[in-house]
Amino acid sequence: MRLIFVHYVLPDRGSAQDIFNYNSVARAVGHEVALYGPPSPESPFNYSLDIGSADAVIFIFEWTTRLQWGDNVDFTRLVGMVPRRKRVIIDCDGGYNDRINVLGDCNHLDSDADERWVEVCDSLSDKICQPTLHPLRPNVRPFFFHGYNQKWEVPLDFSAKEYGIVYVGNNWFRWRPMHRVLQAVQPVRDDVGRIRLVGHGWDSASPWTSPVYMADAYYSDPEYLKQLNVEVVPPVRFDQVIESMGGGIFTPMMYRPLFDHLRLVTCRSFETPAANTIPLFCQDAAYVEEIYGEEAVELVLPEQEPEAKILDMVRRSERYGSIVSGIRRHLGEKHSYEKRLKELIEIVTD
């Protein structure tokens, strides 16, 4: 089967890791996954404009709904060349819902945008999927899309860490959970060691800052970061994320408030456990158990005395490393890209 993914992919954010892995897994089992766009020998992605031979088109709507290449009639071309039953939408950001506002984090900028976007999606496909087990609309199918690759796994070794904490990701409505982690760290700051944030928008405005979006999306407290001597560096490519996270004893697992509300998963949900680090989950225990297994609840940042959990992770990292090993086995069995591709093909052929 030949699948064409339609997505605006950038190498330092979003689902670049997933698209790269779908391509590799598909090729290994006799299928093909291509990304819509002109072929580029320099790109790590398999670009193609050959829609005519596609068995299905998969629209991946994430941080943008625009096409990366082509002109304003490309959607018309895609729709015209592939039957409706062979079109699938992966709604990664929860846009296929009524307008939701969670602590200032919205899936739509205004009350009319939600209706317009739902109409667009309905015009493209009957198969709407979201990466959550709990979609709000009855016609939405749960499909995680993001997956886990056991080849990512780095041996766990906490003997010579340069950092106590490393977080890899841009600040997009993530200051609130980051502030919670840093407040937990503050009473035991000297025991934790160096802290590094890898990404845009932590100590200055993001380069994509626009008056169209709310200031809350980029809000941070650079002075507080300075007080805690937090280092901030630019983002890295998708294929350097796991290595970068591995510089720290532990890595916070943080999502936007909207994503926590919708119980979504992201690419980072599966990359972090593969790194040479301990995931520190900032979600509720029920969500963590549902995705990572019962054992993973031990890695949830508690509401009461969170500094004690931070200190214990630093001092007994090997104990927590054994929990990470169990999480890896669980993800390898339940959330591999091989299983994801099979699920996607079943959705296409249904």
> What is the average pLDDT across 164-190?
95
User: Does 271 lie in the same domain as 221?
Assistant: yes
- Residue 40 confidence class, pLDDT cut points 50, 70, 90: confident
CA dihedral 236, 242, 247, 248 (to 10 degrees): 110
CATH of the domain at 280: 3.40.50.2000
**Which residue has 């990512």 as its token pair?**
152
> What is the average pLDDT across 212-220?
72
pLDDT value of position 219? 87
User: Does 327 lie in the same domain as 236?
Assistant: yes
Whether residue 185 is predicted with pLDDT greater than 80 in this model: the reply is yes
User: Does 172 lie in the same domain as 141?
Assistant: no
User: Does 308 lie in the same domain as 160?
Assistant: yes
pLDDT value of position 108? 87
What is the residue range of 38's domain? 2-147+335-349
Entry pTM: 0.90
User: Does 198 lie in the same domain as 329?
Assistant: yes
> What is the average pLDDT across 240-267?
95
Token duo for residue 117: 């976007």
pLDDT value of position 15? 81
The total number of structural domains that make up the chain: 2
Mean pLDDT estimate for the chain = 90
Quote the distance between the C-alpha of residue 264 and its chain's center.
9
pLDDT value of position 205? 64
pLDDT value of position 42? 81
User: Does 134 lie in the same domain as 211?
Assistant: no
Q: In whole angstroms, give the CA distance from residue 97 to residue 95.
A: 5
User: Does 244 lie in the same domain as 154?
Assistant: yes
User: Does 88 lie in the same domain as 130?
Assistant: yes
Name beta bridge partners: 248.
163
CATH of the domain at 67: 3.40.50
End-to-end CA distance of the chain: 14
User: Does 138 lie in the same domain as 49?
Assistant: yes
Whether residue 70 is predicted with pLDDT greater than 60 in this model: the reply is no
User: Does 210 lie in the same domain as 305?
Assistant: yes
> What is the average pLDDT across 133-143?
97
- Residue 78 confidence class, pLDDT cut points 50, 70, 90: confident
User: Does 217 lie in the same domain as 97?
Assistant: no
pLDDT value of position 51? 86
User: Does 15 lie in the same domain as 137?
Assistant: yes
